[in-house]
Every structure is written in structure tokens, then in C-alpha cells.
Amino acid sequence: MKKALITGVTGQDGSFLAELLLSKGHEVHGVIRRSSTLNTGRIDGIFDPEDKRYIHYGDLADGIDDLLYKIQPDEIYNLASMSHVMVSFAIPVYTADITGLGCLRILEGIRKLGLRSKFYQASSSEMFGLTPPPQSEHSPFNPVSPYGCSKLFAYHITRTYRAGYGIFASNGILFNHESERRGERFVTRKITRGASRIKLGLQDKLRLGNLDAVRDWGHARDYMRAVHLIMQQDEPNDYVVATGQCHTVREFVETVFAYLDMDWKKYVVVDDSYRRPVEVPQLRGDASRIRALGWEPEVDFAQLVKLMVDNDMELCRKSIQK
């Protein structure tokens, strides 16, 4: 039985990855930050948050060497980060510490302890920034946010430890991936939740920033299948994970409101305060390398929207019943 350690296990990606690994018979350990309130909603049906055998408290600001030594994992998936691009402009130092140096602390722990663990780093399409699409593993990086810059440091330090110390260390450069479990501050979930609330009379308007941004959106469950596949290869490498299809934020809005039989123009307000200091105009990934390994996304754009809206409508109805 393989032992897997997931940082960021309480997030969207961490919860889907934990489900996948458990279904394959792995012993899965998750790292969560200690706080005054539990943020384990996404994994409550997967783990028992009080089960100290598989859920461990830790923080990438300090490093997790003790956990690495205790668990001796076969696979380490570093999904933890301060992952909201707009928020990274407000707290850039913290973003760099957790998102960038947090990765280094794990890699250094693997090196110092002499572990033979495979390591996966969750890299991001935000590293490409202003680089024109399509973006592949060979495209130049040009990040324009503290988040993108921090992810780029983590990407390169992962490659450095791979080359310098022979660690099996791979990067997955994941383009935008959403789901019913997406955080409410991210634009796709903000749209599906806001539209659902408007449909049910719980909200009047939806305020958004740049509607012209173009993104390559897939489903997080599909992308976690790709992450697992990356870690099953004989040699480490770096992989873009994307659908290759892109849509504007405006198209996402139109599709959501059309599904709910509403005219989005009556409810959506463009608010420049939601714009980033520097906007990334277009991201569209070329995932030829991982497709050559047999990976294909299963959920298309329309299905993704439907899944997210149906989930938010159910949640909003439940909130009314309470």
C-alpha cells in the first residue's frame, strides 16, 4: 500500500485528490493548518477530521520535516498555497512565503532526511502571465502577480532539486480548474453562486471586474487524474494540464445566466475595484505532453457550468429552508 501525503488537503484540489488516491488503495495523509475554526467541509465525508492517524496539523511557514520523518510517504503532493491572485497583491510577502518558500521547505526536508519520496509541485498557468497563447512547457514565463511570481520560484526550485539531488520532483502546470467545491471568492464560483442567489431572490446584483479576461477552464476532478498520472511515470518531468479551449469571463456569465433563464445584463455590474493591478489577458494551454500519456478531460465547459450551478442552487435552497 502506497503512502501519500497531501498538503492543502482541505482545498478543492486536495479533496478530489484524496478521494482519487483512496479509491486506488493508497494510505492518504492530509496536512491542515491549525486555526480557531475547522475548515474541513470538503473532506468531512472523506476523512474524520479528528482521526490523528491520517489528518495532521502543519504549516508550510514552519516546514513539515517532523511529519515527513514520521510518515515516510511514497508520494508527496504539495497543493498548499495562498492561491487567490487578487489577494496576493494585498499580502505579497505572505504569498511568497507560503506559495514559494513553502515548496522549498518540503524539498529541503526530503533532501535532509534522505527520503525516496516522489514529489509533486502544483504549478500554475499564472506563471505565463503576459505570454501569448497557446502556452506549453516550452513557452517563456512572464508572471504579473505576486502569486504568479511565487509559483514560478516554486517551479524552478523543484527543477533545481530534481537536477541537483536526483529527487523525483515533477511540476504540473495546471490551467484554471473549477468545480462545485471551488472557493466562493474565485470568479467562477462567485458567478454561479451569485446567479443562483439572484434567481431565488436572495440577491439583487452581481459585481464583477474584467469580463474580457480569457481563460482555459476545466474540472478539478479531471485535473487531479492528471496529477496522479504525472506521479506514476518512471521519470520526473513538467506537464501543462489544460483543455485547450478558452472562454471569456463574459461567456461564463452568459452561460450561467442562460442556464437559469435570466438576462445577465439586468443583474451584472462591472466594478473596476475588482480588477487586478495588472491583468492577464488570455490563458490557453497546450497539453500535448500529458495527452500523449493517455490523459483527456472528461467534463466540458457546458457540463462544468451545469454542475456548478446545480450545486449552488441546491445550497441556496437549503439556506432558505433553514
Q: At CA 255, angle to CA 253 and CA 257, rounded to 5?
A: 70
Helical spans, DSSP H, in the chain: 12-23, 65-71, 85-90, 92-95, 102-113, 146-165, 187-199, 220-231, 249-259, 288-291, 301-321
Cite the active site residues.
124, 126, 147
For 212, phi then psi, to 5°, come to: -95, -5
What is the bridge-based pairing of β-strands 214-215 and 247-248? antiparallel
- What's the rounded Cα separation, in Å, for the pair 289 and 199? 42
**DSSP assignment string, 80-92:** -S---HHHHHHSH
On the question of a cis peptide bond just before residue 134, with omega within 30 degrees of 0, the verdict is yes
Output the nine-digit C-alpha cell for 220: 478539478
- What's the rounded Cα separation, in Å, for the pair 317 and 322? 9
Q: Do residues 94 and 53 make contact, with C-beta atoms less than 8 angstroms apart?
A: no
Report, in this order, helix, strand and coil percent for the chain, each rounded to 5: 45, 15, 40
Amino acid 92 reads P
- What's the rounded Cα separation, in Å, for the pair 178 and 188? 7
Output the nine-digit C-alpha cell for 255: 452561460
Q: 183: which residues sit within 8 A by CB, 6+ positions away?
A: 11, 12, 84, 189
